Amino acid sequence: MADNDILYVWKRYGQTKDPMLREKLILEYAHLVKYVAGRLSIYFGSNVEYDDLVGFGVFGLIDAIEKFDINKGVKFETYASLRIRGSIIDSIRELDWVPRSLRQKNKEIEKAFSEFENELGRSASDIEMSNKLGISVNEFHKLLNNINITTMISLEDFLEQNYDSGVDIPNYSREDRPESHLEIIEIKDVLAGSIDKLPEKEKTVISLYYYEEMTLKEISAIMGVSESRVSQLHTKAILRLKGKLARQKSLLEN
């Protein structure tokens, strides 16, 4: 649909709330749901079907269309993507089917990564991690697949929840910047350095996912590995990074 046509539909819908016009808007922006679902699927692997994620996301798109004000000067795609993402995550959390034991296992593996890599001074291999956990490499890989969903909180959310990184950082000189802003800068420096030290494949996944904003399917095609393998690599990278950030936070607090 041409820009002028979609603008006309938005204006008419704002005036009439005509269900037929809403249907046109849903069809026009349906690709956003598929894109966001494709991005979030990296957290779920085979635990949640892609079609289910799309279904959850449609509710977010409809909600976005209902609440969007075209006169506010905000780009709808940006607004809707946040609504769609929130709808999918809220729907998954409402299901609450992740066993407490799995959440606990996630914390144990994150702690093991953090402690072991702190001792080694480098990234631990799958064999080293499986030996430390007392399980086989295959069991370790299965465990990574199972705890994908417990790492659903993205790096951006993790930073925002733990370090208030959602605030805009003014362009102060380093000497004049408030202490809280100094901490944010330091944490971001640690994050950048930690990403650079990740094993190459994990670093590639993080780069393609967070910086290139690709979907799980796209990353799988580029790297020539299965979607399940991409999810494993992503989970390991997140566990390593969260462990390093947690250590940094502890140092700052002490």
Residues 81-93 have a mean pLDDT of 89
| Exposure string over 194-219, b if 16+ CB within 10 A, otherwise e | bbeebbebbbbbbebbeeeebbbebb
CA-to-CA dists, residue 231 to 137, 203, 209, 222, angstroms: 16, 13, 11, 14
- Asked whether residue 84 falls in the same domain as residue 163, the answer is no
Q: Would you give the DSSP letter of residue 150?
A: G
- Asked whether residue 63 falls in the same domain as residue 116, the answer is no
- Asked whether residue 46 falls in the same domain as residue 119, the answer is no
Looking at 95, 121, 138, the residue that finishes a domain is 95
Q: Say yes or no to pLDDT of 46 above 70.
A: no
Token look-up 């805009």 returns 168
CATH number reported for the structural domain that contains residue 87 in this entry: 1.10.1740.10
Predicted pLDDT at 172: 32
Token look-up 């709330």 returns 17
Predicted pLDDT at 136: 93
Domain count, the chain: 2
- Asked whether residue 179 falls in the same domain as residue 216, the answer is yes
- Asked whether residue 38 falls in the same domain as residue 72, the answer is yes
Q: What is the pTM of this model?
A: 0.71
Q: Say yes or no to pLDDT of 26 above 90.
A: yes
Q: Which residues contact 169 (CB under 8 A, 6 or more apart)?
A: 177, 181, 184, 185
Q: Which residues contact 28 (CB under 8 A, 6 or more apart)?
A: 1, 6, 9
Predicted pLDDT at 98: 60
- Asked whether residue 114 falls in the same domain as residue 36, the answer is no
Predicted pLDDT at 168: 34
Domain hosting 238: range is 100-253
Residues 84-107 have a mean pLDDT of 78
